[in-house]
Amino acid sequence: MDIFIGILEQGMIYAILALGLYITYRILNFPDLTVDGSFPLGAAVTAYLMTNTGDLVATISLGHNPYIICLYALMAGAIAGLVTGIIHVKFNIRDLISGIITMTGLYSINLRIAGSANVPIFNLDTIFSNSTMDMIFPESLLRYKVIIIATIITIATKIILDLYLKTKSGFLLRAVGNNEILVTTLAKDNGNIKILGLVIGNGIVALSGSILMQQQGFFEITMGTGAMVLGLASVIIGINVFKKIKFVKATTSVIFGSIIYKAAMSAAMDIRFARASDMKLITAILFLLILIFSEGKKKKVKVDA
């Protein structure tokens, strides 16, 4: 039961990361490595606003309110996406290189913001543990508090994203990834729409980083390593597993994909010869297998056609 609860907790939190990757990778068709920097950026901003006691910081975070701090983390991620977008669109740098440049710079920026490579917040209020939540949740549900809160935030993010994608701006965002010529014929700037997509995607990713940091109780500078791989794996798994089920939306598939991926990781780590230090290797192998399976299905569809 503890393992199952852990899978759902981590799966729901990382599902928010996957939703951000869904915007950049699936809709924009943009391989955005900024994610490996914007994910810990959200955690770094959260660590700074929670641990600093200065009057200015207290004013900005409204008395260190963890929910308001999540919004600041989201805005910080949006700025990171904006930088990548400007580098790519305005300076004509390739998409992959643009993300690498921003990700590299964010490593130092994250250290500057957080103050150190590891910042604990065990005794501070978080979105999961505060006086309000302690009053709302009865003792019988305390064990499931993180799952419930993380699920509510994930579903809220999904609903907002679904509603946005139905707007005119959302349709243009989809069009840029599928047919840039169509967007040009509509007298719209492809570059600005790409920048908007990167802003939204990285904002959501940073929100996930903030939530994970509050759930774990500490910030660590390396927590963003492999975030893009994890998010992409969740997107690919979800899309491929549920693509034949018409009533399941793509964003819903991504959420389930994150849970399935975390379950697969948990099963892999449960193998006797696997160690905690092998996690990155296991992640890489699983992601490779997912890509091979995905590409194999695509080739089969083409042959059948």
Two tokens, residue 221: 């500078």
Instruction: Grade residue 299 by pLDDT with cuts at 50, 70 and 90.
Output: low
Query: What is the value of pTM for the model shown?
Result: 0.92
How much is the pLDDT for 272?
Answer: 57
144 — phi, psi (to 5°)?
Answer: -105, 10
**pLDDT for res 188:** 82
What pLDDT shows up at residue 275?
Answer: 67
* Per-residue buried b or exposed e for 243-258, using 16+ beta carbons within 10 Å of the residue's own CB: eeeeeeebbbbbbbbb
Residue 276 above 90 pLDDT?
Answer: no
Q: 124 near 64, Cβ under 8 Å?
A: yes
pLDDT confidence band for 1 (50 / 70 / 90): confident
Query: If you average pLDDT over every residue of the chain, what do you get?
Result: 89
What confidence score (pLDDT) does residue 207 get?
98
Q: How would residue 189 be classed by pLDDT, with cut points 50, 70 and 90?
A: confident
Radius of gyration of the chain, Cα coordinates, nearest whole angstrom:
19
Angle at 22 between CA 247 and CA 29, to 5 degrees: 115
**Which comes out higher in pLDDT, residue 301 or 244?**
244
Q: Which of 203, 222, 258 is nearest to 20 (CA)?
A: 203
pLDDT tens-digit profile of 248-266? 999 999 999 999 999 988 8
Angle at 296 between CA 292 and CA 298, to 5 degrees: 120
- Give the mean model confidence (pLDDT) for residues 106-117: 96
Q: Where are the domains of the chain?
A: 2-223
What is the b/e burial string over 77-105, where b = at least 16 CB atoms within 10 angstroms of the residue's CB?
bbebbbbbbbbbbeeebebeebbbbbbee
What is d(CA 52, CA 229) in angstroms, rounded to the nearest whole number?
32
Of 131-145, 151-165, 250-264, the poorest mean pLDDT is in 131-145
pLDDT at residue number 88: 96
Cα 117 to chain centroid, rounded: 21
229-239: pLDDT as tens digits: 899 999 999 99
pLDDT of residue 273 exceeding 70: no
Q: pLDDT (tens digit, 9 = 90+) per residue, 53-74?
A: 777 787 777 778 999 999 999 9
User: Is pLDDT of 247 > 70?
Assistant: yes
